Structure 1
Amino acid sequence: MENGTISRRRFLMLAAGSVCAMAMPAWLAGCSAGQNGEGDGATADDGADSAAYEVQSLTLFLFDTVIQISALCAPELMDRLSERCQFFEDRFSRTKEGSDIWNINQAHGAPVEVSEETARCIEASLAYSEASDGLFDISIGAVSSLWDFVEGIKPDDDAIKEAVKHVDYRTISVDGTTVTLADPDAMLDLGGIAKGFITDDLVSMLREAGCKSAMLSLGGNVYVLGESFRGDDWNVGVQDPNGTANDVIASIPARDKSLVTSGLYERSFTIDDVLYYHILDPRTGYPAKTDLASASIVSDSSTDGDAYSTTLFLMGHDKAMDLLNSDERFSGLLIDMNDTATASNGSGFTLLSE
């Protein structure tokens, strides 16, 4: 980690003059160009063909989050990316009737045929569950379906106690594209991995189309592809979980990297002075008891980042930092309830002062 700090105000001023991506609900001013290149007017040089593209931008609301994509590419590629996002919404949504996950949850233990993408995502989830000793568990659906973080509804304690009996990733089996739940009352929820998996899929589409510069934001999942639209590093910021939506606590230069943040500020409500937030502990069915306000992870794979940022949050500060410092796939930034930020060894994060 760099020892120097710059002010958050100074960072915002710098952001207005350079392209950057933020791990927060909105991009900073000056970070993205408008549709058909409104903004910096940058072009992409594809080498021998010398094909020039303007910056194309796309904004959608799917997966219960705002999706923002900007890329130096042909306009038709944005249409394909939009269709691909809808493809995943139609298969991964827990609440959309007829989706793969909805069908699995309604099958009461009967085998269900799913798309190849759904099968791969579930198989990846099971590997993360094994690696985390069950801290990451997509069978949390039996519990998460009881909570409503939009309307601020807390389930009855007895209902949570009953539902948590059916949270166990070991009841899930995948055979090709057939998914079976050994527990007929178990339910899947891909909320802890879907955005990362989808981000990696979209990045692959961009690369296959020859795109050399792009930024993608799916809620707390940010991926920066290649160099920025101005030809330098992207500057990715981390939201202050204890501040307002536009408060930035740290930044990091990046190319071809994912930055995923899990934090208690994303979706939460308060009842009788008790804060309830959406990251549920699969062992208890309640919001995780942790000393962290947020956990951010930098990695090559957004799928890795999504699953492990949730795991880090559940681990708490000390165990999470041990994992970040011992696993060469990751670097990260942990922020505790007192707004103290700690970066892993050699992460490259710069902390921003007031």
Structure 2
Amino acid sequence: MAKRIQFARTGGPEVLEYIDYTPAEPGPKEVRVRNRAIGLNFIDTYYRSGLYPAPALPSGLGTEGAGEVDAVGSEVSGVKVGDRVAYATGPLGSYSELHVLPAANLVKLPDSISFETAAAVMLKGLTVQYLLRQTYNAQPGQTVLWHAAAGGVGLIACQWAKALGVKLIGTVGSAAKAELAKAHGAWETIDYSHENVVERVLALTDGKKVPVVYDSVGKDTWPISLDCAAQRGLIVSFGNASGAVDGVNLGILAQKGSLFVTRPTLFGYANTPERLQAMAEDLFGMLTSGKIKVEINQRFALADAAKAQTELAARRTTGSTILLP
């Protein structure tokens, strides 16, 4: 027997249950991992609420974790029992002591990176990797706008952008978060609690706006993002923290300057073992070089996952948050 978080109906954090369950044996191409640390991410709340449908209910939750290989399937050759591994692309069920997943979804974890760091950084770090290096390959000297710059993804983006020589303007909700983002490498910050984001972007770019806007907030920031993108600029909508963007009239893209919009996911970029491994190596290189440092500012027991999600949704967290089995 082992412990896990599951939900039998969608809704708020109160639907999460901490239960005993019998972990499955791994299939031929699967591995069972004994989690030592588990990542907490906004996407987890989307599955819990029903915004993203779970394959079936009751369902486990979470897609990210790090630990040791506990058992391997008959056709698995890349890893063995006892190996240190990390994962970020699911399937659902990482909020557990033991988690079964395809061997293709694992990456081996270097000894220099702790389980807690890996659980805190895999999903967020790989997300920043594809956003800055693939979705829009930001170049030295360019200026980009990043909403929610003091969050877990945002603080990694601030550091990665600085390492690339990219000038990141980060939006934040308080003076404390502005200070945090700048301490992590943001070129400038905009406190939307009392500053007009569009006016500040225009001032900071001499009226040129930015070639790319990274938006994980969604509904609340969509109009702002449209007004901050330069002509033929790109809006990268990669999250829905304030609710999903809907009812979009494509004509607005023409009116705002022949804009481009994409709605990428990590699963669309790390879609083969080879791509996943290459992305992870890029991320691990940034970590081991010291160019990116991960701050785990909140730790919760696995049993307190509902409380952790409440804090995350209320934007009372900074940096990364992890669950400990």
TM-score interval, normalised by the smaller of the two chains: under 0.3
Higher relative contact order (CA 8 A, sep 6+): 1
Question: Taking structure 1 as the reference length, what is the TM-score of the superposition?
Answer: 0.23
